[in-house]
């Protein structure tokens, strides 16, 4: 307040002021001056959504540094003022892990950073991750009241701001070391579902061991999502925080090979299977085994987990000059933007539907467009072409038109006869989805799976094996980080009940009413002895 003009020209704050409407100008200036002015809802409504600070598109398409640079403190305070603090907030329902969004934003707005961080971390084990990779536009921000008349509160930006602050200020956070429950839990897979469950269960005092097949924890956060979208040291710091809470990570442990589920069941009181949907799906067109054709899994794992983007690391990756990525999801965007960064002169997305149908986050598509990625919509690949040495030289494609809606409600692409042509390229990355990996399920005969190989669970997330729970992509099929985290959080709550002998879990009246339905599930049909919870087992052992 004493500083007459703290806002440097060209700074993010100056830009934020420049695009604010007249009525909000004074309010925004006061916030930037360090005031926390009391505002009326009308005043809050007058403030425009601030913009994320981004690395320049030209510069970033040649490096692996993070694209979004995060909000400054001033921008975060402005954006926090935009939240109306609804009495009945809809945003919480829009969040798969039910973050108390208004509460952390209110504390942030009031300058109580430690309070905001405590609140956020108590709801979300990986806020630095979700603040970067969540599709907020279809979740919390979509149902934000402000979205009805303009733009929603930038919940994701604020979450990232608070989470990054928490990571930088571990000493400011409240650490409640829970009393040890004496129960042990094995978590299979250290991706978003596994890590979330690990954090939740550790909070309840259970001894948690996470088994990871790779040499480093994080699952898709480490091998899949690129550095420029989710820096690996951020993921590592989130894992380190869990380790500090007592979670043990066992790398190089492939369940189904190194240990079986049955062996884990003997060593642990409960198990959570969160192995993801790990197998790549290929297109099923001729030429897919030529050199220069990658699954997105392989391409991204080489670049991200193995660090092939840095030539000082040993793992090689092909540096395509003209790269075609088949698919329209987040993984496809990650792959095509990676190819661009590795020097591709042309990097093209080939997608069989249209722009509106792209399943990727809006921000990823927008960033890809800014970085000069080409898009070929309504196109289906027919064949990979190669030279005499079997190196890829092109992708023969066919134009599609959109016909009647299919089962998913999206209009089904239909080929246009005579529309075939070849996209010249020296590398093709297939990013059209993944399927379940049978490594674990094949060696676990009692585990019920569906026709696609995904594990089936009851409404509490328990599989056909008592005490063994499952969640994330291996249950729901390939989905998002946050949905996997939601599964991890719900499963952890169920597992806590199981471990405490309160089974089936009873949360409130409505949950209690649901119990008879739960008892009818295949898992519940097991004998009561087999269903005995660890606490119950202990009781009977003591009795005998």
Partner 1 sequence: MHPIVSTDQLSPNVFRLVVVAPRIAEIRRPGQFVIVRKGQGAERIPLTIADADPVAGTITLIIQSVGKSTADLVEMQPGEAITDVAGPLGSPTELIETGHAVCVGGGVGTAVILPIAQELQRRGVAVTSIIGGRSREWVILEDELRAAGDVITCTDDGSYGRPGFVTEALKDALDAGGIDAIYAVGPVPMMRAVSALTRPYGVLTMVSLNSIMLDGTGMCGGCRVSIDGETKYACVDGPEFDAQQVDFAELMDRLSTYRPYEQAAMERREACKVPALAAAADKEAASESAVPTTPTGASR
- Which residues contact partner 1 (rule: CB under 8 A)? 213-215, 251-254, 257-259, 278-280, 282, 288-289, 291-292, 294-295, 297-298, 301-302, 306-307, 311-316, 318-321, 343, 387, 389-393, 426-427, 437-439
Contact 75, 16 (CB under 8 A): yes
Q: 161 or 211: whose CB is closer to partner 1?
A: 211
Looking from the CA of 469 toward its CB, the CA atoms found within 13 Å total 31
Nearest to 188 by CA among 275, 279, 247: 275
Q: How far does Cα 276 stand from its chain's mean position?
A: 12
> Any idea which residue has 């601030």 for tokens?
50
CB of 476 to partner 1, least distance (A): 18
Contacts 24+ apart (CB under 8 A), 36-45: 36/77, 36/109, 36/110, 36/111, 39/81, 41/84, 44/81, 44/82, 44/83, 44/84, 45/84, 45/146, 45/149, 45/150
CB of 349 to partner 1, least distance (A): 19
CB of 387 to partner 1, least distance (A): 7
Contact 402, 414 (CB under 8 A): yes
Distances (CA, A) of 51 to 48, 104, 369: 9, 20, 17
Report phi then psi at 543, rounded to 5.
-65, -40
CB of 48 to partner 1, least distance (A): 41
Contact 219, 191 (CB under 8 A): yes
CB of 431 to partner 1, least distance (A): 12
Q: 16 or 308: whose CB is closer to partner 1?
A: 308
Q: How far apart are CA 538 and CA 15, in angstroms?
A: 64
Q: 85 or 252: whose CB is closer to partner 1?
A: 252
Q: 334 or 426: whose CB is closer to partner 1?
A: 426
Element of type H or E holding 6: none
Q: 246 or 280: whose CB is closer to partner 1?
A: 280
Q: 214 or 375: whose CB is closer to partner 1?
A: 214
Q: How far apart are CA 240 and CA 235, in angstroms?
A: 9
Q: 83 or 318: whose CB is closer to partner 1?
A: 318
Q: 160 or 302: whose CB is closer to partner 1?
A: 302
Q: How far apart are CA 308 and CA 316, in angstroms?
A: 6
CB of 275 to partner 1, least distance (A): 9
- Give the other-Cβ count within 10 Å of 452's Cβ: 9
CB of 267 to partner 1, least distance (A): 13
Contact 354, 378 (CB under 8 A): yes
Instruction: Say which DSSP state 147 is in.
Output: G
Contact 472, 490 (CB under 8 A): no
The strand pair at 379-386 and 374-377 is best described as unpaired
Report phi then psi at 411, rounded to 5.
-70, 135
CB of 530 to partner 1, least distance (A): 27
List of residues 6+ apart from 469 with CB closer than 8 A: 270, 271, 272, 273, 457, 460, 461, 462, 463, 491, 494, 495, 498
CB of 60 to partner 1, least distance (A): 16
Q: 391 or 421: whose CB is closer to partner 1?
A: 391
Q: 317 or 400: whose CB is closer to partner 1?
A: 317
CB of 261 to partner 1, least distance (A): 15
Q: 319 or 448: whose CB is closer to partner 1?
A: 319
CB of 321 to partner 1, least distance (A): 5
Q: 294 or 460: whose CB is closer to partner 1?
A: 294
Q: How far apart are CA 537 and CA 286, in angstroms?
A: 56
Report phi then psi at 453, rounded to 5.
90, 5
CB of 215 to partner 1, least distance (A): 4
CB of 371 to partner 1, least distance (A): 17
Contact 422, 396 (CB under 8 A): yes
Contact 469, 476 (CB under 8 A): no
Q: 119 or 441: whose CB is closer to partner 1?
A: 441
Instruction: Say which DSSP state 51 is in.
Output: P
């Amino acid at each position: 307040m004493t500083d007459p003009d703290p806002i440097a020209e060209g700074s993010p704050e100056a830009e934020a002021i420049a695009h604010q409407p007249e009525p909000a100008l004074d309010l925004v200036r006061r916030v930037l001056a360090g005031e926390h002015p009391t505002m009326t809802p009308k005043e809050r409504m007058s403030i425009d959504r601030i913009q994320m600070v981004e690395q320049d598109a030209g510069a970033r398409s040649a490096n692996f540094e993070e694209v979004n640079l995060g909000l400054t403190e001033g921008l975060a305070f402005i954006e926090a003022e935009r939240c109306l603090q609804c009495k009945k907030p809809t945003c919480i329902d829009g969040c798969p892990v039910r973050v108390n969004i208004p509460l952390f934003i209110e504390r942030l707005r009031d300058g109580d950073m430690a309070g905001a961080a405590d609140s956020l971390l108590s709801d979300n084990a990986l806020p630095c991750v979700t603040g970067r990779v969540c599709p907020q536009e279809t979740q919390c921000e979509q149902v934000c009241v402000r979205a009805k008349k303009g733009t929603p509160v930038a919940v994701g930006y604020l979450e990232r701001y608070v989470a990054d602050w928490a990571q930088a200020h571990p000493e400011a956070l409240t650490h409640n070391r829970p009393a040890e429950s004496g129960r042990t839990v094995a978590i299979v897979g250290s991706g978003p579902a596994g890590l979330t469950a690990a954090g939740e269960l550790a909070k309840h005092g259970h001894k948690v061991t996470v088994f990871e097949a790779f040499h480093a924890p994080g699952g898709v956060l480490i091998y899949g999502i690129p550095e420029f979208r989710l820096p690996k040291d951020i993921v590592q710091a989130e894992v380190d925080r869990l380790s500090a809470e007592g979670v043990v990570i066992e790398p190089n442990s492939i369940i189904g090979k190194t240990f079986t589920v049955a062996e884990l069941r003997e060593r642990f009181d409960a198990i959570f299977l969160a192995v993801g949907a790990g197998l790549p799906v290929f297109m099923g067109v001729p030429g897919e085994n030529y050199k220069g054709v990658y699954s997105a899994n392989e391409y991204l794992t080489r670049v991200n987990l193995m660090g092939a983007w840095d030539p000082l690391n040993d793992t090689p990756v092909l540096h395509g000059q003209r790269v075609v990525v088949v698919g329209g999801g987040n993984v496809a965007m990650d792959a095509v933007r990676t190819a661009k960064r590795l020097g591709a002169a042309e990097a093209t997305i080939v997608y069989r539907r249209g722009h509106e149908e792209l399943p990727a986050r809006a921000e990823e598509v927008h960033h890809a467009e800014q970085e000069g990625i080409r898009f070929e919509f309504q196109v289906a690949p027919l064949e990979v072409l190669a030279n005499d040495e079997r190196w890829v030289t092109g992708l023969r494609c066919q134009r599609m038109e959109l016909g009647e809606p299919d089962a998913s409600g999206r209009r089904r692409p239909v080929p246009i006869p005579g529309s075939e042509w070849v996209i010249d390229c020296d590398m093709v990355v297939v990013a059209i989805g993944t399927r379940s990996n049978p490594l674990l399920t094949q060696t676990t005969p009692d585990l019920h799976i569906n026709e696609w190989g995904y594990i089936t669970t009851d409404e509490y997330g328990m599989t056909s094996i008592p005490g063994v729970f499952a969640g994330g992509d291996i249950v729901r099929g390939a989905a998002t980080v946050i949905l996997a985290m939601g599964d991890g959080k719900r499963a952890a709550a169920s597992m806590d009940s199981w471990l405490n002998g309160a089974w089936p879990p009873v949360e409130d009246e409505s949950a209690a009413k649901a119990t008879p339905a739960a008892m009818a599930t295949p898992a519940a049909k097991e004998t009561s002895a087999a269903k005995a919870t660890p606490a119950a087992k202990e009781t009977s052992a003591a009795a005998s």
